[in-house]
């Protein structure tokens, strides 16, 4: 899923109810892949909270730094029912890799933040994930 780079944020794609649908449709051993790159918002803790709430696992990869004006790196998140499902990460890394020498090869466990709560169809809080400084 790559829907978060614009200034219009599709919050409904990051709610508990949305993840219930994704997980219902997810094949056994499958993964959910999201590009959460955004100039102004940091979605990591929203998704970290979702992994805990839905009892799934998540990893984040920082992508690459772009040093040109008006160009931005990527932030990939992969989520699955269990850690063993991440067996495809080496292939995924190769697929996502660019020619950039700044590419970051590491994945890490996605972090949660209980203070943010879990987003639902009835609750979200964009100001809480705003990148106040760059």
What band does 108 get if pLDDT is binned at 50, 70 and 90? Answer: confident
Asked whether residue 105 carries a pLDDT value surpassing 70, the answer given is no
DSSP states of the chain: ----SSSS--GGGGSHHHHHHHHHHPPTT-EEEEE---SSB--HHHHHHHHHHTT-EEEEE--B---STT-----EEEEESSGGGGGGHHHHHHHH--S-TTB---EEEPPP-GGG---BTTB--GGGGB----
Asked whether residue 2 carries a pLDDT value surpassing 60, the answer given is no
The 10s digit of each residue's pLDDT in 21-30 is 999 999 999 9
28 vs 7: which has the higher pLDDT: 28
What's the confidence (pLDDT) of residue 82? 93
92 vs 42: which has the higher pLDDT: 42
What's the confidence (pLDDT) of residue 36? 86
> Do residues 130 and 9 make contact, with C-beta atoms less than 8 angstroms apart?
no
């Amino acid at each position: 899923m790559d829907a978060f780079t614009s200034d219009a944020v599709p919050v409904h794609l990051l709610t508990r109810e949305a993840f219930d649908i994704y997980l219902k449709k997810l094949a056994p051993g499958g993964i959910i892949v999201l590009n959460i790159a955004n100039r102004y918002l940091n979605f990591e803790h929203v998704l970290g909270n979702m992994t805990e709430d839905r009892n799934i696992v998540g990893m984040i990869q920082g992508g690459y730094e772009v040093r040109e004006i008006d160009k931005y790196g990527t932030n990939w998140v992969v989520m699955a029912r269990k850690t063993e499902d991440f067996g495809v990460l080496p292939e995924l890394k190769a697929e996502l890799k660019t020619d950039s020498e700044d590419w970051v090869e590491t994945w890490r466990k996605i972090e949660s933040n209980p203070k943010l709560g879990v987003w639902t169809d009835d609750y979200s809080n964009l100001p809480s994930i705003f990148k106040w400084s760059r």
